Amino acid sequence: MRPASFLRSTRLEYRHPELADVPRMVGWINDPEVRRHLDQRVFPLGQQAEEEWVRGLPARVAARTDVVLLVLRQSDGEPVGSTGFHAMNWLARWAEFGILLGREHWNQGYGREVTSTMLRYAFQELHLDAVRLRVNASHQRARRAYVHAGFVEEGVLRRAAWVDGAYDDIAVMSVLKDEWRPDEGG
Ligand SMILES: CC(C)(COP(=O)(O)OP(=O)(O)OC[C@H]1O[C@@H](n2cnc3c(N)ncnc32)[C@H](O)[C@@H]1OP(=O)(O)O)[C@@H](O)C(=O)NCCC(=O)NCCS
């Protein structure tokens, strides 16, 4: 029996990751194209480390610091990636957004669909006031997906990333609740 989904969007559904999902997640994260713009991914990720990370998720959810969701295609239940909120700040009511899709699922608008869905979850269910992210300035694919979903750039951390043998800037982007339009990127 398929585990129940927690959220749904047009083509996708979202649920808590389970240990059985770990081999797929490890495959995505170790893919050089996928990890190219991710922090802390210049060391290989093993199955055991990822299992421990997944085992630690319920405690982080209980502490209300993180929400992590596996993203699956509704039509056949195929996992396509993961997404989440991290470092959730309940005083100022904002969180950092993260997303990762397996390479074979890029360029089908899933990045935009997931981002839009997570904004709806953030503002309508979690009652956050802002969602923020950091993205390498040269990561055009991600930036386009984020802009489509309603993010705007609010600042730049100069030479804060190292990508493909060169420094890159990091763009800080955000959506404030009162700027957000539910239909954006839908
Ligand atoms: C970033 C990521 C989530 C984007 O997902 P995606 O499903 O490919 O994104 P979408 O299909 O929704 O949108 C991609 C947009 O970028 C555009 N794009 C694709 N390749 C591009 C490129 N090389 N340069 C510029 N734009 C590009 C697409 O045309 C599309 O824009 P459009 O809707 O205006 O046509 C996905 O590539 C990913 O998971 N990458 C690896 C992990 C990662 O880097 N995560 C983000 C860290 S900040």
Locate the domains of the chain by residue range: 7-179
d(CA 159, CA 41): 18
Confirm if 150 and 179 have CB atoms less than 8 A apart. yes
Atom of ligand 1 at shortest range from CA of 142? 1
Q: How many Cβ atoms sit within 10 Å of the Cβ of residue 104?
A: 11
Residue 111 Cα to ligand 1 midpoint, Å, equals: 6
> What pTM did the predictor assign?
0.95
The reply to whether ligand 1 has any atom less than 6 angstroms from the CB of 171 is no
The reply to whether ligand 1 has any atom less than 6 angstroms from the CB of 151 is no
How does 31-57 read in b/e, with b if 16+ C-beta sit within 10 Å? eeebbebeeebeeebeeeebeeebeeb
Residue 1 Cα to ligand 1 midpoint, Å, equals: 32
The CATH number of the structural domain formed by 7-179 is 3.40.630.30
Residue 152 Cα to ligand 1 midpoint, Å, equals: 16
Q: Which residue has the tokens 């950091």?
A: 134
Pair of tokens at residue 113: 């669909």
In tens digits, the chain (186 residues) has pLDDT values of: 677 899 999 999 999 999 999 999 999 999 999 999 998 678 999 999 999 999 999 999 999 999 999 999 999 999 999 999 999 999 999 999 999 999 999 999 999 999 999 999 999 999 999 999 999 999 999 999 999 999 999 999 999 999 999 999 999 999 999 999 887 655
